[in-house]
Amino acid sequence: MEPRKHSFPPVVDNDTRLLVLGSLPGQRSLAERRYYAHPQNQFWRLISSAAGRDLAALPYEDRLAALCDAHIGLWDVVASATRQGSTDAAMRNIERHDLAALAATLPRLRAIAFNGGTALRHGVKQLGPAAANYAIVALPSSSPLHTVGLATKLPAWEALRIHLTG
């Protein structure tokens, strides 16, 4: 049987306006205990466009602080699952996070963005009626398994800025 893999704690604060949700960290991220640790994952380059600074160039803890400074939160829709490898399609025995409960603790939250189709499918269901309180944004996955280029993904990620102003 596959080992159970667990996500990380949310990166949020009371000023979070945009919550970006992935599915479940991959093998490399779990091994390094860091969100989006795989060097081919484009997350840090893509979210930099919304944050307004180059997060990929920063040490990891500074990246997380810069996300919070930009009013961007980070978490996953899956609390734990069994999975061989890193693909979302291989997840089994999924335990979900209570996204609606987290969202309810964030007084300035305006939008919830989903990094990829799996996160979107699970996350919208988990939010239930609470989804109506937020702009819901489907993003092209930052995963190296989603093989369209960075330039193709970037416009959707840049558009996240509208949820951070004001």
What tens digit of pLDDT does each residue of 5-53 get? 899 999 999 999 999 999 989 889 999 999 999 999 999 999 999 999 9
pLDDT of residue 133: 97
At 79-136, the pLDDT tens digits run 988 887 667 666 578 889 999 999 999 999 999 999 999 999 999 999 999 999 999 9
Active site amino acids: 41
- The Cα–Cα gap between 62 and 44 comes to 12
- pTM of the complete model: 0.94
pLDDT of residue 88: 67
pLDDT of residue 86: 66
